[in-house]
Amino acid sequence: MNLQGKNDVVLSLPNDPGLREAVGEIEGVEIVEWDLDGPAPREHIDVVVPPYWGGGQRIAAVADVSVRLVQWQSIGYNGLDKYLPAGVPLANATSVHEAATAELALGLTIAAQRGIPQFVRDGLEHKWELKTYPSVADRRVLIVGYGGVGKAIEARFAGFESLITRVASTARDEQNLAGETVHVHGIDELHELLADTEILVLGLPLNRKTHGIIDAAALAALPDDALVVNVGRGPLVVTEALVAELTAGRLRAALDVTDPEPLPEDHPLWELPNALITPHVGGDSSAMMPRMTALIRRQIAHLRAGETPENIVLGEWA
């Protein structure tokens, strides 16, 4: 028996509020704290979980230790390849944030459609003023991005009597979360589809192909009064082009992500009553911790079973 008992796995967790408590004790796992901004607590760490907040540059620190897996806490991992030491496998947080992100997408959509921001502002003046707003029911909704988040958004739209169309990088038929075979249009059809869209929901990852995909021409393709909802990444949308359409009062927007981010205090988006802004809280809610904990536990079980971990998006699993 070695002095550390029967522990066969070392897991490092960041000092994120609540995470250590949520993970609890896992039999045979030694849990150490590491924020990746100081010296590594061990020479070998099987699974390193970097902080949720604080940017990707910190993961360069894993070069100082022998690591089997870096478990990132977000779904998006754009830009991490610059910092991640060559060959280190990194898993993203697919399965952790879809529920929270998709429910926020629906919340933003319903709030924007039904005038909830205006009622909040009216409330500050004690003003009870009935107005008729567009429903979500009967609207033609285009979900752009049909990965985990896009599918979770679709599943939540199911009961709302809206007409759902899906677009992703490549046209295909596939199963939705309800087990139905649905058609996913290819991104080459985007502009054509936008012309017939009343609510555009962006839930796609940021990469070279999607950067600025919603530019002035794409926005111009949308009919008057259409709503643009972004729960993906800010740079999917060309901010100046969106601001121009919102300032003109032609389109409306509900944005959980922006470019730049955080949105500076004097940014014109803040001023627009037809823009609802939330500060990138899509994946951040009480739903995150139990799902993150479950993913960490599953990854450790995969390592012990000699299986490939879930969600590897960078590096090679040897």
21 membership: H or E segment, kind and range: helix 19-23
DSSP at 5: B
Query: Are 219 and 242 spatial neighbours (Cβ–Cβ below 8 Å)?
Result: yes
- Spatial CB neighbours of 124, under 8 Å, sequence gap ≥ 6: none
CB of 204 to other proteins, least distance (A): 19
Token pair of 209 as six digits? 């192909």
Choose, from 42, 280, 297, 298, the residue flagged as catalytic: 280
DSSP at 263: P
Closer by beta carbon to other proteins, 210 or else 258: 258
Active site residue 261: yes
CA distance linking residue 72 with residue 58, whole number of Å: 12
Closer by beta carbon to other proteins, 62 or else 242: 242
CB of 280 to other proteins, least distance (A): 6
Closer by beta carbon to other proteins, 250 or else 267: 267
Tokens 């919102």 belong to which residue?
246
> How many CA atoms lie less than 13 Å away from 63 in the CB half-sphere?
10
**Cβ neighbour number for residue 302 with a 10 Å cutoff:** 16
CA distance linking residue 184 with residue 79, whole number of Å: 28
Choose, from 174, 189, 240, 261, the residue flagged as catalytic: 261
Nearest to 253 by CA among 112, 114, 155, 100: 112
Sequence letter at residue 23: V
Closer by beta carbon to other proteins, 4 or else 286: 286
Query: Are 218 and 88 spatial neighbours (Cβ–Cβ below 8 Å)?
Result: no
Active site residue 233: yes
Residues within the interface to other proteins (CB under 8 A) = 17-18, 99-100, 102-104, 106-108, 110-111, 113-117, 119-124, 126-138, 152, 155-161, 177, 261-267, 270, 275-281, 284-288, 290
CB of 65 to other proteins, least distance (A): 29
CB of 51 to other proteins, least distance (A): 14
CB of 81 to other proteins, least distance (A): 25
Closer by beta carbon to other proteins, 103 or else 215: 103
Choose, from 139, 185, 233, 291, the residue flagged as catalytic: 233
Residue positions annotated with a catalytic role: 233, 261, 280
